[in-house]
């Protein structure tokens, strides 16, 4: 959420305020994930339905936190059954490990946001640079659920990691930071528009620079034309 010190990430704030419309749909890794998300969910459901009764799947879309409506999350699915209740589903289709068995990709650190736990089980890494653990915690908090499953799918199979809501981590670490970021950074930007003014100013300066370059280029072109014309007259 931050760069060095306590300075907020400018790109993050720009994304939240929707100052820059970035089209990420052409990025190969994003395309791969979008293309195979449904396939991954279907593969997991086939396994899940073997041991669970009356399975239902919901695509919830955007879920808002009841107490803090500025905190939101988008689980890929919510699965429910008569025997276990509801479970949040988050799906990852890692592009760089697409041709590997998922567990082997973990062992070779191609998938480094999952680790081998003390008892040999796979665990989602907390505070990884990708923030997937925090993503799932936010989904659970917003959905008011206690359990989730992370599905990691490749062309050679999938693994599913059960994840329990870490209430202490959420309440003691994540929630205070999210609240502070919104209340001190986002609200300030909403009220002052300081970054928006900076961005508009930069755009204006860049436009002026381009205009000056064009004018200078045109002047040089005219000087060259005059020089060629005079040279031709002299002959």
For 68-81, the pLDDT digits (tens) are 999 999 999 999 99
Assigned CATH class of 21-176? alpha beta
Report residue 107's pLDDT band, with 50, 70 and 90 as the boundaries: very high
Residue 200's pLDDT is what?
83
- What are the boundaries of each domain within the chain? 21-176
Could you list the beta-strand ranges (E) of the chain.
56-58, 63-64, 72-73, 77-81, 85-92, 114-116, 122-124, 147-154, 157-164
* Mean pLDDT, rounded, for 145-159: 98
Q: Residue 93's closest CA among 117, 78, 76, 79?
A: 76
Supply the pLDDT for residue 201: 83
For residue 145, give both structure tokens.
Answer: 């659920």
| Predicted pLDDT at 3 | 45
- 74 backbone dihedrals φ, ψ, rounded to 5°: -130, 85
At residue 5 the predicted structure's pLDDT band, cuts being 50, 70 and 90, is very low
pLDDT, tens digit, 9 for 90 and up, residues 158-188: 999 999 999 999 999 999 999 999 999 999 9
Contact criterion met (CB below 8 Å) for 165 and 147: yes
Q: For residue 74, give Cα distances in angstroms to 139, 177, 192, 196, 226.
A: 7, 20, 29, 27, 64
The mean pLDDT value for 122-139 works out to 97
| Cβ neighbours for 50, distance < 8 A, ≥ 6 positions apart | none
């Amino acid at each position: 959420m931050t760069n060095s010190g306590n300075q907020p990430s400018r790109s993050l704030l720009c994304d939240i305020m929707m100052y820059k419309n970035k089209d990420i749909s052409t990025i190969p890794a994003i395309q791969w994930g979008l293309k195979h998300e449904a396939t991954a969910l279907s593969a997991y459901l086939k396994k899940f339905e073997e041991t669970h009764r009356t399975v239902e799947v919901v695509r919830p879309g955007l879920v808002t936190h009841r107490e803090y409506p500025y905190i939101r999350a988008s689980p890929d699915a919510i699965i429910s059954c008569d025997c276990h209740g509801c479970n949040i589903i988050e799906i990852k289709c890692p592009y760089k490990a697409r041709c590997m068995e998922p567990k082997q990709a973990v062992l070779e650190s191609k998938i480094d946001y999952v680790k081998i736990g003390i008892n040999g089980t796979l665990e989602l890494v907390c505070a990884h640079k990708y923030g997937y653990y925090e993503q799932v915690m936010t989904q659970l908090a917003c959905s008011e659920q206690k359990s989730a499953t992370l599905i990691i799918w490749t062309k050679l199979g999938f693994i599913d990691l059960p994840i329990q809501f870490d209430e202490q981590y959420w309440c003691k670490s994540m929630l205070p930071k999210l609240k502070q970021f919104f209340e001190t950074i986002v609200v300030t930007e909403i009220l002052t528009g300081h970054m928006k003014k900076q961005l508009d100013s930069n755009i204006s300066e860049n436009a002026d620079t381009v205009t000056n370059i064009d004018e200078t280029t045109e002047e040089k072109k005219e000087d060259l034309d005059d020089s060629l014309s005079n040279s031709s007259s002299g002959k």
